[in-house]
């Protein structure tokens, strides 16, 4: 199994201006705007890594050696849509699976792609990387990212900017403090809980 980022986020959950205005940073001058922008991007990636969630819209490709028994679990929630499912058939020809032949359960976490009612997965050639699922993940635009996550990103940026070790440039972040970790753990817990409410 492999997972590749195809199209990275086109924007960040917070702007440089929002980061500079936050209580954790409070920078008025524009001298370090480029560096602060880099810190925002790195903080977003750090939060995504910690929570295993995509924050703003991005496209991923999941590669499998064949169709699994049952459904395909889609990593990096939340799932917005499945763009395509391609596979190598038994003759060695790449095919695109018709969207009518599978169903997407985006309410589950992780999301699940299963054969449509009465259908089964097609046979694939017995070779590595025979199935490719391309999909769009993330909460949407920056405005759709939960506020508690934005607050964590602002805090990480502020702490990193002020760090005396000179982490400017976004190449390395300081360890998450206990408060930020608690917020992120609670976010993951709440997000999973919402998915099973009825």
Q: How many CA atoms lie within 13 A of 123 on its CB side?
A: 5
Between CA 95 and CA 85 the distance in angstroms is 8
Q: Give the CB-side neighbour count of residue 60, counting CA atoms within 13 A.
A: 21
pLDDT at 83: 98
**The pLDDT value given to residue 185:** 80
How far apart are alpha carbons 143 and 123 in whole angstroms? 42
CA atoms within 13 A on the CB side of 117: 0
What pLDDT band is residue 74 in, cutting at 50, 70 and 90? very high
Residue 167 has pLDDT above 70, yes or no: no
Summarised one tens digit per residue, pLDDT across range 104-138 is 999 888 899 999 999 999 999 999 999 999 999 99
Answer yes or no: are the C-beta atoms of 3 and 62 closer than 8 Å. Answer: yes
For residue 144, give both structure tokens.
């759709």
Model pTM above 0.85:
no
* Res. 97 pLDDT band, cuts 50 70 90: very high
Query: pLDDT higher for 83 or 156?
Result: 83
- Reply yes or no: is the peptide bond before residue 116 cis, omega within 30 of 0: no
The side-by-side arrangement of strands in the sheet containing 72-74 is 72-74, 111-115, 102-105
HEC states along 55-73? Answer: CECEEEEEEECCCCCCCEE
Average pLDDT over residues 64-85: 95
Cβ 74 vs Cβ 113: under 8 Å = yes
**Mean pLDDT over all residues of the chain?**
86
């Amino acid at each position: 199994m492999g997972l590749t980022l195809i199209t990275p986020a086109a924007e960040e959950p917070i702007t440089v201006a929002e980061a500079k205005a936050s209580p954790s940073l409070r920078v008025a001058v524009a001298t370090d705007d480029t560096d602060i922008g880099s810190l925002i991007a790195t903080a977003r990636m750090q939060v995504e890594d910690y929570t295993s969630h995509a924050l703003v819209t991005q496209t991923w490709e999941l590669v499998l050696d064949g169709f699994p028994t049952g459904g395909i679990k889609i990593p990096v929630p939340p799932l917005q849509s499945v763009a395509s499912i391609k596979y190598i058939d038994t003759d060695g020809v790449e095919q695109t699976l018709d969207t009518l032949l599978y169903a997407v359960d985006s309410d589950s976490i992780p999301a699940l792609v299963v054969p449509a009612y009465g259908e089964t997965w097609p046979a694939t050639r017995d070779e590595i990387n025979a199935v490719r699922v391309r999909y769009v993940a993330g909460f949407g635009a920056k405005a759709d990212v939960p506020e508690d996550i934005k607050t964590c990103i602002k805090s990480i940026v502020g702490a990193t900017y002020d760090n005396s070790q000179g982490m400017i440039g976004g190449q390395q972040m300081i360890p998450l403090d206990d408060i930020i970790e608690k917020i992120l753990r609670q976010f993951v817990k709440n997000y999973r809980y919402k998915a099973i409410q009825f």
